[in-house]
Amino acid sequence: MTLGRERDPTAGLQEKDAVFTIPKHPVRRRIHGIETFNVLRGGEYLFMPSLSALRWLANLGS
């Protein structure tokens, strides 16, 4: 699966004219000029899931 020319607003640096589409019925919503949400320092990237996500993952085997 690919985003094509669109950008993921939560990952990576965003270009000036970046576009993100939210699929919705009957009309999709397209957001232009999304901003960069993360700051890259030293070339590393860290994603920290929420506590509710960790609880959900912990209960998958139950």
For 6-50, how does the pLDDT look when each residue is reduced to its tens digit (9 = 90+)?
777 777 777 778 888 888 888 888 888 887 777 666 666 677 788
pTM of the model: 0.46
Q: How far is the C-alpha of 60 from the C-alpha of 46, rounded, in Å?
A: 23
Span 53-59, average pLDDT: 88
User: If we measure between CA atoms, which residue out of 9, 7, 11 comes closest to residue 46?
Assistant: 11
Contact 9, 20 (CB under 8 A): yes
CA dist 14 and 8 (Å) reads 8
